[in-house]
Structure 1
Amino acid sequence: MTLLRLILEELKAIVADKAIAVTLFGGVLFYALLYPLPYLNQVPTEQALVVVDLDNTSLSRELIRHADASPKIRVARAAGSVAEAQHYIASGDFHGLLVIPAGFKRDLLLGKGATLSYGGDASYFLVYSALVEGLVTAGMDAARSVQLLGMLSRGESFAGASLSLLPMHLNAVPAYNPGLGYTPYVVPGLFLLILHQTLLIGTGILGAGQWRKAGYWQQVSSLELLIGRIAAFGLIYAALGAFYMGWCYHWYGVSVQAGLGDIAAFIVPFYLATAAAGVAASCLFRRRDMPTQVMLLASMPILFVSGFVWPLSLIPEPLVMAAQTIPAVPAIFGMLKLNQLGTGFDGVFSEWLTLWLLALVYLALAWWGLVVRQREVNQLSPPKQG
């Protein structure tokens, strides 16, 4: 059997197998829509706030206006006490609380400290972050207003007092996530993980289903079968990867800094290492359902140890080192630096070498596993000649 015919046989086996076809094509397309769906609004805005104003002065009302003017906060209701405000928040219609203490304006004008109390629904981290950011900004604006009045009362000019309060103006321009949204942040790494897991599952199901019956995989050597299988899956994932890193990146507004050549050079060892790892893993399974169960259970741990949703400094060092043996981990870290941060290929050279090393190791393991499995199949059912 020629190599081209072997690749065609592998492609036919992949497409004809419903479980593999659904995982590869249906899963990749489905997850492209499902995972980013909760974050399409990018950043939380206009979060409903309950205000308890125990001071009821012009300054406290100005603070409330500043809070309401923030794009992250909407002052939705006033309450007469903290207990009443807690009742509103418990209803689920409000997410934050601002308490202005009695004597707020008096204490500030006398130069004493005044404490504003903030509260929020911390079960939603992004909502809580938006509330705190908006309230802190409003509080700082109110404090500057009082400081400005104090300076003017001491005879300072308005220009001098303003310059003293704001000696410099910060113009922050996000370089890699212009909208400061969650989707452009999480999608690039998550899509690579989806490609990694579906490729492992697909190769695992195909191999696990062949070790108890005869077929074309008996008519070729282990090395030829390995090359043909990786080539077949590589052709499919070249198209799926182009869909993810092309159309999906454009659709979700993901920043793209790298050229096509750099992306292709980096993604090749990732596909090679992942496909080889999947073939090697398939030699461990005798049931077709096991690869899906094992790989899905491993998805969440891989997501965390990859370092883009959870700081690596908070993960035990031995676990971080062990995670480098999973192709998705150096691939995600390197692709984020290359494609989103624009570091250039020199900046991801270590991750690129790691992927090639993993590819060599998993290719050797996959070849050895195929040799063992083919020998078992041939003992049960000798291959037919021709």
Structure 2
Amino acid sequence: MSLLRLILRELKAIVSDKAIAVTLFGGVLFYAVLYPLPYLHQVPTEQALVVVDLDNTSLSRTLIRHADASPKIQVAAAAGSVGEAKAMIASGKFHGLLVIPSGFKRDLLLGKGATLSYGGDASYFLVYSALVEGLVSAGMDAAKSVQLLGLLSRGESFSGAALKLNPMHLNAVPAYNPSLGYIPYVVPGLFLLILHQTLLIGTGILGAGQWGRASADGGSDYWRQLSPLKLLCGRALAFALIYLMFGSFYLGWCYHWYGVTVQSSLMDMALFALPFLLSTLFAGIAVSTLFVRRDMPTQVMLLASMPVLFVSGFVWPLSLIPEPLVMVSKVIPAVPAIFGMLKLNQLGAGFSAVHTEWLLLWGLSLLYFVLAYIGLKWRLSRFTD
């Protein structure tokens, strides 16, 4: 059988297998919509806030107006006590509370410290952070108003007092996430992880199904007549053709659609993605030789997806992960691929900055190629008449 004919047979086996087709084509398209969907608005705004005003003075009302003016907060209700406010938050209609203590204005005018208490529903991290950020900003604005009145009462000019309160003007411009949203932050790494996991599952299902079926009925499938090297090359090329399309869809159209920052050239992206694709392909084929049940690759890869997500370092600080675990995780192709692609594509680093990750991926490609060859040779030898 020629290599071209083998590739066509492999593609037919992939497309005609419902489990593989749903995992590859359905999974990639489904996750492209599912994961970003809850965060399309990027940053939470107008979160409902309950206010407990125990001071009831002009300054406390000014503070409440400042909080309501924040784009992140909407003062939706007032409560007479902290207990009542907690009950309102527990109902699910409100997400946070602000407690202004009794004597708030008096203590500030006397130069004493005043403590504002605020909190929110931490079940949703983005909602909670929006509430805290908005309330901190409102509290600082109120504090500056009191300080301004104090300076003016001591004879300071308005311009001089304003300069003392704001000695410098900070113009912060986000370089890599202009919207400061969730999608440009997490989607680039997550899409690479989806490509990695679906490819491992697809190759695993195909291989495990073939080994299990041959063990059960002794059938003479086309792959039994091939050498391990030819089967390995044909299978890798068949999946590579499919994932070249998927990779272009994720790293091209999806990035553009979701407004993800792209600062790398097409040539650099393709050059870096090549060893990632090859190492994942060979790893999937190698792992497939360990199973004879079609359901096992999906279960194992789905269980491993969350640990891989965390050790990849883009949603959880690597400093909080044990160093031995970080070192071991580098044998997973997705980990150096995510590190390198984020530096190259989102942070605008030159290709020399990802040279270490690129060489590591080529090393993993060679390692998993050898393991895949050994695994296929072992599997084929078991079915030799």
Q: TM-score range by the shorter chain?
A: over 0.9
Q: Structure 1 residue 299: deviation in Å?
A: 0.7
Equivalent residue runs for 1:271-282 within 5 Å: 271-282=277-288
Query: Which residue is 2:39 aligned to?
Result: 39
Query: Which residue is 1:303 aligned to?
Result: 309
CA deviations 1:169-205 (Å, max 9, x no partner) are: 1111111111111111111111111100110011111
Query: Which residue is 2:49 aligned to?
Result: 49
Equivalent residue runs for 1:339-378 within 5 Å: 339-378=345-384
CA distance in 1, matches of 2:121, 2:27: 34
Q: Residue 38 of structure 1: SS of its match in structure 2?
A: helix
Amino acid at match of 1:317: E
Query: Which residue is 1:333 aligned to?
Result: 339
Identity of aligned residues (%): 78
Amino acid at match of 1:68: D
Amino acid at match of 1:263: M
CA distance in 2, matches of 1:210, 1:85: 61
CA distance in 2, matches of 1:200, 1:121: 38
Work out whether 1:169 is the aligned partner of 2:169: yes
Query: Which residue is 2:112 aligned to?
Result: 112
Q: Residue 300 of structure 1: SS of its match in structure 2?
A: helix
Query: Which residue is 2:24 aligned to?
Result: 24
CA distance in 2, matches of 1:179, 1:340: 14
Amino acid at match of 2:7: I
Amino acid at match of 1:40: L
Q: Structure 1 residue 220: deviation in Å?
A: 2.2
Query: Which residue is 1:382 aligned to?
Result: none
Amino acid at match of 2:379: R
Query: Which residue is 1:11 aligned to?
Result: 11
CA deviations 1:130-155 (Å, max 9, x no partner) are: 11111111010011111111111111
Equivalent residue runs for 1:74-113 within 5 Å: 74-113=74-113
Query: Which residue is 1:383 aligned to?
Result: none
Query: Which residue is 1:178 aligned to?
Result: 178
Q: Residue 332 of structure 1: SS of its match in structure 2?
A: helix
Q: Structure 1 residue 41: deviation in Å?
A: 1.7
CA distance in 2, matches of 1:5, 1:344: 40
CA distance in 2, matches of 1:247, 1:124: 29
Amino acid at match of 2:208: A
Work out whether 1:200 is the aligned partner of 2:200: yes
Q: Structure 1 residue 103: deviation in Å?
A: 1.1
Equivalent residue runs for 1:128-147 within 5 Å: 128-147=128-147
Query: Which residue is 1:320 aligned to?
Result: 326
In the superposition, the TM-score normalised over structure 1's length comes to: 0.97
Q: Structure 1 residue 210: deviation in Å?
A: 1.7
CA distance in 1, matches of 2:196, 2:318: 20
Q: Is the 8 A contact 1:28 1:198 kept in 2?
A: yes
Q: Is the 8 A contact 1:214 1:377 kept in 2?
A: no
Which stretches of structure 1, 4 residues or more, deviate above 4 A after TM superposition? Answer: none
Name stretches of at least 5 consecutive residues in structure 2 with no aligned partner: none
Equivalent residue runs for 1:227-238 within 5 Å: 227-238=233-244
Q: Is the 8 A contact 1:95 1:121 kept in 2?
A: yes
CA distance in 2, matches of 1:80, 1:279: 65
Q: Structure 1 residue 378: deviation in Å?
A: 1.6
Q: Residue 171 of structure 1: SS of its match in structure 2?
A: coil
CA distance in 1, matches of 2:290, 2:133: 51
Q: Structure 1 residue 218: deviation in Å?
A: 2.2
Amino acid at match of 2:82: V
Q: Residue 52 of structure 1: SS of its match in structure 2?
A: strand
Moved more, 35-44 or 354-363: 35-44
Amino acid at match of 1:59: L
Moved more, 35-44 or 195-204: 35-44
CA distance in 1, matches of 2:192, 2:220: 34
Q: Structure 1 residue 214: deviation in Å?
A: 2.2
CA distance in 2, matches of 1:192, 1:119: 36
Work out whether 1:262 is the aligned partner of 2:277: no
CA distance in 2, matches of 1:274, 1:378: 28
CA distance in 2, matches of 1:198, 1:275: 11
Q: Structure 1 residue 344: deviation in Å?
A: 1.5
CA distance in 1, matches of 2:292, 2:82: 62
In the superposition, the TM-score normalised over structure 2's length comes to: 0.97
CA distance in 2, matches of 1:209, 1:134: 55
Q: Is the 8 A contact 1:96 1:119 kept in 2?
A: yes
Amino acid at match of 1:276: F
**RMSD of Structure 2 on Structure 1 (CA):** 0.9
CA distance in 1, matches of 2:295, 2:119: 47
Amino acid at match of 1:98: L
Amino acid at match of 1:251: W
Q: Structure 1 residue 219: deviation in Å?
A: 2.4
Q: Residue 177 of structure 2: SS of its match in structure 1?
A: coil
Amino acid at match of 2:294: R
CA distance in 2, matches of 1:82, 1:26: 49
